[in-house]
Structure 1
Amino acid sequence: MGLLESLRQSLPFGSRRSEGGRSAGGEDLFDDDFQRKLDYLAIVSRRVFAGRMRAERRTKKTGSGVEFADHREYQPGDDFRYLDWNVYQRFDRLLLRLFEEEEDLAIYFIVDASGSMAFGGGDKLRYAKRICAALAYVGLANLDRVCIVSTSDRVMMRMAETRGKARIFKVFRFLRELTPAGATDLGDALKTFVAQHKRRGLAVLISDLYDPQGFERGINVLRYNKFDPFVVHVVDKAEEQPKLFGDVLLYDCETGDEREVTVTPKVLARFREEYGKYIHDIERFCATRQVPYVRADVTVPFDELILRVFRRGGFLR
C-alpha cells in the first residue's frame, strides 16, 4: 500500500472508537449558543445575497409569477385576466401576457458517515454535523426545500424534503442519530442517491473524501446527472502530521486491514508530501470543473467556516 493509496483508503492512524451526536464531553452539538449563531448566519446570508437570490433562482418556465416574460396569441379557454388590453387597443390583437415563474431551490446535504469520519475521536463527523445543520438552517430560512442523506458505500439514512426554518429541529434529530460505520464508496452511494431523487438541485457533499475508488467518482456522478455539486472537504490537521515513531501497527479504520510499519522522520516527511499532493489534486479537480470547493478544518469555528462558504459563492442561489 503506497502512501497516496493510504490516503485514498483513509488515514490509518488512531482509535477505532466512534462518536455520535454529542461532543466528547457529552455536550449537545446543537445547544442554545449554536442556535443563536444560526440566526446570525441566516441574517448575514440575506444581507450578502439580497437582490441576487431572486434573479439566480428564476427558471425558464412561464406561469403566474410577477416578472413579465413574453406574449403569446390568445387561445380559447385562456384566462381573460392575463389579456394585454393595451396591445388590443393599439393593434386589435388578443395577446396573453406570460410571466416568469420562480421555483424554490432543492438543497441536498450528503453527509459522509463512513468509518473514517469517526477517526481521531469523531471530530470530523461532529464538525460535519454542525456544518450541515448551519447550512440547512440558512436554506430553510430562505424557504428552500432541504433534504439530508448519510452515506458510506451506500445511502444509509435519509431525511425527507422539508422547508421552513421551524423544521430545523427535525434536522437536529436526524443528525444526532448519525453514527459512523462502513467503508467509503462515494461513487456507488451517489449513484443510489441520484436514482432516488429525480428533482435536481444543489448537492452539498460534506466528506473527508477518503475514498479508495477515488474522490472523483462521486462528484462526477452528481455532475453527470445534472445536480450542482458543492464540496465541503472536512480535514483534520492531526492526520497530516501523525504523532508516530518507531515500529507501529497501522490499521485501516474502515476495513480493519493491518500492516506493520517502521515510522521514521523520512517516512513522515514523505507522508506529509503525499498528503499535500492529495489535497492539491482535490482542489485542482474541483477548480477545473467549476465545482465550488471549501476546505473545512475542524479547528476553525463552524460559523467562520459558514461565512467562507458564503464568500466562496455557489451555495445561495
Structure 2
Amino acid sequence: MPATATDPLLSPELLGRLERLELVSRKVFRGRMKGERRSRRKGQSVEFADFRHYVAGDDLRLIDWNLYARLDQLFLKLFLEEEDLHFFSLIDASESMNFGDPTKLRVAKQMAAALGYVGLCRADRVSVSVLGPEGRRAPVLRGRASLWKMLAYLDSVQSGHNVSLYQGVKDFSLRASGTGVAVLLTDLMDKDGYESALRMLIGRRMDVFVMHILSPEEIDPPLRGDRKLIDVEDRDEAEITLNAHVLHRYKETVESFISEVKQFCSKRSIVYIPVRTDTPVETIVTRYLRERGVVR
C-alpha cells in the first residue's frame, strides 16, 4: 500500500537499521568538532595508527621512549583522529516534485530524513534544507536527540518553491560555510538546466551526490489519445496526440536525458543515483546507497 502524507517519514524498523550505518565521504574534510568517525588524517586519540621520526617542534609527550631506548632514535606515536563530518541534504521542492504516488517530494524527504539520521547517530553535523529562501530557517543539527527537530522541519516542507536549481544552490552556497558531503534530491526538471548548479557545488569542494527522483509515470506514461499538457511551474500549455510513435519518442528522450546526466556527473566525480518513487525507501538506503558508496 502506498505511503500517505500522514504516515511517518521513517518507520521504527528502518530507524533501527539506520543506526548501524555510517555516511561515507570520498574526500578528507577538516571537522570542527570531535565526532565518531575515523579520519585518514593523523591526530590524537586512544587508537594507535603509526610511527614517524621526531621533528623539532613536535609534542614531546608523543615520543615513544621505549623505542628510543632500543634504537637510540626519536619516534612519535601517531593515532587515528576522530572527527565530525558536515552533511548537507538539499531538497528540490518545486511544484514538479509534487507528482506521483507517493510524490517525488515525499520520497526526497524520506531520503533526507534517513541520511540525516545516519549522520546524527555518528555525531556528524547535519543540515537538511529546501532549496530557496525557505532553506534559510533550516537548523544545523547534531546528535540523535535532534531527530525530532529534523523530522518537524521536513514535515513542514511543502511543494511550490519554484526557484531554479542554480538559484537554489547559489542561495545555499551564500549562507552555508565550510565543506562536506552534499546530497541533492531533485527530479532535475528545470528549463534552465542543472549543469550550473552542480558546477557550483563542485566549486565549493563538496563531495557531491545527485539523487535523481522520478515516478514510474514519468518514465513510462500510461496516457493515450488527445491531451493538453500544462507545466505546473510556469503554466505553459501544449496540446498533443499521444500515440505509439509519440510515446516511443518520449521514452527515447527520457533515456537520452538520463544518459547525459550520468555522463555529466561521471566526468566531474559526482555520484549519480537514480531513484524511482515506487521503490521502498528501505531498499534505496540499505541496498542502492551502499552499492554506490553513500553509506556503509
TM-score higher than 0.5: yes
The answer to whether structure 1 residue 300 and structure 2 residue 282 are counterparts is no
- Displacement of 1:28 after TM fit? 2.3
Structure 2 residue aligned with 1:111: 91
What amino acid is the match of 2:61? R
The answer to whether structure 1 residue 248 and structure 2 residue 230 are counterparts is no
- Displacement of 1:80 after TM fit? 4.7
- Displacement of 1:98 after TM fit? 5.0
Structure 2 residue aligned with 1:70: 52
- Residues 21-75 of structure 1 show CA distances to partners (whole Å, capped at 9, x for unaligned) of x954x532336xx1221212333x36x99xxxx9x95244645674345344354
**Greater RCO, CA 8 A, separation 6+:** 1
Task: State how far apart, in whole Å, the 1-side matches of 2:197 and 2:62 are.
Answer: 46
Structure 2 residue aligned with 1:7: none
Q: Is the 8 A contact 2:101 2:277 kept in 1?
A: no
The Cα RMSD (Å) is: 3.1
- Residues 111-134 of structure 1 show CA distances to partners (whole Å, capped at 9, x for unaligned) of 111111012466111111111111
SS in structure 1 of the partner of residue 211 of structure 2 = strand
- Displacement of 1:109 after TM fit? 0.6
SS in structure 2 of the partner of residue 125 of structure 1 = helix
Q: Where does 1:53-202 land on structure 2 (aligned, <5 Å)? A: 57-60=38-41, 62-63=43-44, 66=47, 67-68=49-50, 70-75=52-57, 80-86=60-66, 88-89=68-69, 97=77, 99-120=79-100, 123-152=103-132, 156-202=135-181
Task: State how far apart, in whole Å, the 2-side matches of 1:30 and 1:133 are.
Answer: 7
Task: State how far apart, in whole Å, the 1-side matches of 2:277 and 2:264 are.
Answer: 22
- Residues 251-289 of structure 1 show CA distances to partners (whole Å, capped at 9, x for unaligned) of 111112223333333222211211121122222222333
Q: Is the 8 A contact 1:64 1:100 kept in 2?
A: yes
Q: Is the 8 A contact 2:273 2:292 kept in 1?
A: no
Task: State how far apart, in whole Å, the 2-side matches of 1:272 and 1:91 are.
Answer: 71
Structure 2 residue aligned with 1:15: none
Task: State how far apart, in whole Å, the 1-side matches of 2:240 and 2:218 are.
Answer: 17
Correspondent of 1:267 among 246, 249, 259: 246
What amino acid is the match of 2:235? G
- Higher mean C-alpha deviation, range 294-303 or range 120-129: 120-129
Structure 1 residue aligned with 2:30: none
Structure 2 residue aligned with 1:42: 19
Correspondent of 1:205 among 175, 184, 197: 184
What amino acid is the match of 2:213? V
- Displacement of 1:225 after TM fit? 1.6
TM-score normalised over the length of structure 2: 0.82
Task: State how far apart, in whole Å, the 2-side matches of 1:40 and 1:91 are.
Answer: 49
What amino acid is the match of 2:148? F
Task: State how far apart, in whole Å, the 2-side matches of 1:160 and 1:71 are.
Answer: 44
Structure 2's unaligned 5+ residue stretches are: 25-34
Q: Percent identity?
A: 34
Q: Is the 8 A contact 1:65 1:102 kept in 2?
A: no
What amino acid is the match of 1:304? T
Q: Is the 8 A contact 1:202 1:229 kept in 2?
A: yes
- Name the count of aligned residue pairs: 284
Structure 1's unaligned 5+ residue stretches are: 1-21
Structure 1 residue aligned with 2:28: none
Q: Is the 8 A contact 2:98 2:104 kept in 1?
A: yes
